[in-house]
């Protein structure tokens, strides 16, 4: 099985003791390519370091939880980092109203739209984080997609860890989005995500872990790592009525298109 992991956080402290071993374990499980995703300046820099060391890819950006510190200087630094050859996406960026007590939406929105504009300027894919902010996220992306279309540009983005309705998933796909699917797909209470996977075209689904978070069944509650994506591919194959290898290959090709590789 050959797997493209579109969203991992190997820079996380959870991997400090055994990062090399875990990346080797992932490769032995078929994960021959991954994107390490930043969430602030520090983790974005670390993501580039990881991408260089292991011959893979990085994404740089400021997560909505960290948007309180976002300003023009931070944006300029993200732009500088994004020009490194290992960087294929801006992310993860977006809106997270679950944490708006720590970072109000008035701070999150301009950080989000500024980084969207940066992605368009640099022709990078975009990794979207959206939690408890369905309406605002969609409206911002709808306007952004319209502007991109008017400028003759191709929109390439993924809804990371998709958690909204199947109906909204179809609307995102109409904008040109991909749907990121991870360990949640294996959870018993993941009815909406499974329905979403069934209603969107198969060429719009990509695999991700968000490791070290959200391990799939049967290892839920443990530290996640990309080697566990085989469980997600297996669940996806059940829904699509194909083999796990076929499901992984479909998602692999989708990932190449998403990131322009």
Domain architecture of the chain: domains with CATH: 3-258 (3.20.20.140)
Nearest to 164 by CA among 114, 206, 129: 129
Instruction: Output the pLDDT for position 81.
Output: 98
Q: CA 171 to CA 144: how far, in whole Å?
A: 14
Instruction: Output the pLDDT for position 231.
Output: 97
Instruction: Output the pLDDT for position 35.
Output: 98
Instruction: Output the pLDDT for position 99.
Output: 82
**Residues paired with 73 in a beta bridge:** none
Burial state string for 111-126 with b = 16 or more CB within 10 A and e = fewer than 16: bbebbbebbbeeebbb
Tens-binned pLDDT, residue by residue, of the chain (261 aa): 999 999 999 999 999 999 999 999 999 999 999 999 999 999 999 999 999 999 999 999 999 999 998 999 999 999 999 999 999 999 999 999 998 888 999 999 999 999 999 999 999 999 999 999 999 999 999 999 999 999 999 899 999 999 999 999 999 999 999 999 999 999 999 999 999 999 999 999 999 999 999 999 999 999 999 999 999 999 999 999 999 999 999 999 999 999 999
Q: CA 204 to CA 200: how far, in whole Å?
A: 7
Q: 132: which 2 tokens?
A: 């408890």
**Residues paired with 31 in a beta bridge:** 3
Residue 157 phi/psi, 5-degree rounding, is: -145, 155
Q: CA 24 to CA 28: how far, in whole Å?
A: 6
Instruction: Output the pLDDT for position 102.
Output: 84
Rounded to the nearest 10°, the torsion over CA 96, 223, 19, 45 is 10
Say what angle helices 105-122 and 72-82 make with each other, to 10 degrees.
30
């Amino acid at each position: 099985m050959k797997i493209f992991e579109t969203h991992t956080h190997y820079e996380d402290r959870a991997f400090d003791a055994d990062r090399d071993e875990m990346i080797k374990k992932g490769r032995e499980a078929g994960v021959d390519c991954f994107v390490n995703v930043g969430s602030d300046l520090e983790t974005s820099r670390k993501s580039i370091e990881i991408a260089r060391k292991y011959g893979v890819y990085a994404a740089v950006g400021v997560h909505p939880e960290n948007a309180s510190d976002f300003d023009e200087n931070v944006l300029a630094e993200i732009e500088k980092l994004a020009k490194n050859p290992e960087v294929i996406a801006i992310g993860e960026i977006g809106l997270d109203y679950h944490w708006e007590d720590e970072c109000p939406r008035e701070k999150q929105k301009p950080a989000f739209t500024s980084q969207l504009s940066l992605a368009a300027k640099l022709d990078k894919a975009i990794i979207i984080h959206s939690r408890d902010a369905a309406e605002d996220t969609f409206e911002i992306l709808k306007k952004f997609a319209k502007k991109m279309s008017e400028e003759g540009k191709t929109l390439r983005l993924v809804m990371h860890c998709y958690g909204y309705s199947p109906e909204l998933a179809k609307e995102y796909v109409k904008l040109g989005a991909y749907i990121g699917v991870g360990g949640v797909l294996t959870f018993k209470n993941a009815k909406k995500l499974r329905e979403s996977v069934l209603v969107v075209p198969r060429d719009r689904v990509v695999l991700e872990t968000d490791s070290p978070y959200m391990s799939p069944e049967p290892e839920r509650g443990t530290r996640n790592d990309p080697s566990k994506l085989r469980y997600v591919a297996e669940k996806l194959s059940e829904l699509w009525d194909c083999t796990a290898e076929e499901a992984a290959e479909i998602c692999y090709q989708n990932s190449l298109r998403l990131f322009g590789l």
